[in-house]
Amino acid sequence: MIVGLYRIIDHNLPKLKGVIWKQWYQLLARFYKRKDWTFMNYGYAPVDNQIEKIELNKADEENRYCIQLYHHVASAIDLVGLDVMEVGSGRGGGADFIKRHLKPNKMVGVDFSKNAVEFCNQNYHVNNLSFETGNAESLPVKDNSFDAIINIESSHCYGSMEAFLFQVKRVLKVGGHFLFADLRTKDTVENLKKSLLNSGLRIVKEVDITQNVVEALKLDNHNKIKQIKNTIHKPLVSMFLEFAGTEGSKIYKNFNDRENIYLSYVLQK
């Protein structure tokens, strides 16, 4: 159902995408306030003898695969001492991990859901980590003010990728990096690539991580099902199992069959 709805919105109502997704995430943040629910991505796991496993403390281990996606994207450059923004910070787990483990000077999370921002500001108390409400297509930030911008599994919700990329280029300092990863349906991947090529940013690296996402969904399947059944109201469990990409869901099948493609990029201003 969710996959079908996404395709209808994406193809026929692109300008309403942002409004619809905003309301969805507003509701999630309003009704599900568990402090241990801090990530909402499909995850990343090494495949084909890739060596990318990271050491985590016990408290982070439950979110290993979601964290590994953040680590894959954000560790593409050295963030130590930099001023970093995450656009689409959601429930804040990624920004918190980056600040604690990758040691930027300042980490700011921006999200269009006021409820999600309130959740983050109530639950994270790390020096130089902050969260604020803002629209990715009109960032409330001065020109040339950040060394790196991170955007993970968020841009597919935006009404205009081009408007977002204009904001990224405006906000980045000269020489700054855009660290990006997201999914697209097979028939819209070329549109994404064209938008990135026309952004005025230089593409440094492009990686297809679809298989890494599938591997993470497999490995995290039992944990996700357990969390959903213990957290979500019973009438909504089946919808959330689909939304989370658990095995047997349409989302999982689409990744496995490469109807959905997941790409990660490093770009530079």
Identify the band that residue 38 occupies on the pLDDT scale cut at 50, 70 and 90.
confident
Confidence of residue 9 (pLDDT cuts 50, 70, 90): low
So what's the pLDDT on residue 2?
Answer: 44
Put simply, whether the predicted model's pTM sits higher than 0.85 gets the answer: yes
The angle subtended at Cα 92 by Cα 249 and Cα 59, nearest 5°, is 85
User: For the segment 71-107, what is each residue's pLDDT rounded down to a tens digit?
Assistant: 999 999 999 999 999 999 999 999 999 999 999 999 9
Query: Is the pLDDT reported for residue 22 higher than 80?
Result: no
pLDDT per residue as tens digits for the range 100-134: 999 999 999 999 888 889 999 999 999 999 999 99
Quick check: 53 pLDDT over 50? yes
Given a cut of 60, is residue 8 above it in pLDDT?
no
CB-neighbour burial class of residue 75 (10 A; exposed 0-12, middle 13-18, buried 19+): middle
Percent of the chain surpassing pLDDT 90 = 70
C-alpha of 9 from chain center: 19
156-195 b/e (C-beta count within 10 Å ≥ 16 → b)? bbbbebeebbbbbbebbeeebbbbbbbbbbeebbeebeee
Question: With bands split at pLDDT 50, 70 and 90, how would you rate the model's confidence at 27?
Answer: very low
Q: What is the pLDDT of residue 48?
A: 82
- Walk me through the domains of the chain, giving residue ranges and CATH numbers: 2-268 (3.40.50.150)
pLDDT at residue 50 tops 60: yes
- Please report the pLDDT score of residue 29 as a whole number: 43
Label residue 1 by pLDDT band (50, 70, 90).
Answer: very low
List pLDDT tens digits, range 196-243.
999 999 999 999 999 999 999 999 999 999 888 887 778 878 888 888
Confidence check: pLDDT of 30 > 50: no
More confident residue, 99 or 7: 99
88 burial via Cβ count (<10 Å: 0-12, 13-18, 19+)? buried
Number of other residues whose CB lies within 10 A of the CB of residue 198: 10
3-state DSSP assignment of residue 19: helix
Query: Is residue 32 predicted with pLDDT exceeding 90?
Result: no
The mean pLDDT of the chain is: 88
Residues 91, 251: Cα–Cα separation, whole Å: 21
pLDDT score of 60 more than 60: yes
pLDDT single digits (tens) 185-205:
999 999 999 999 999 999 999
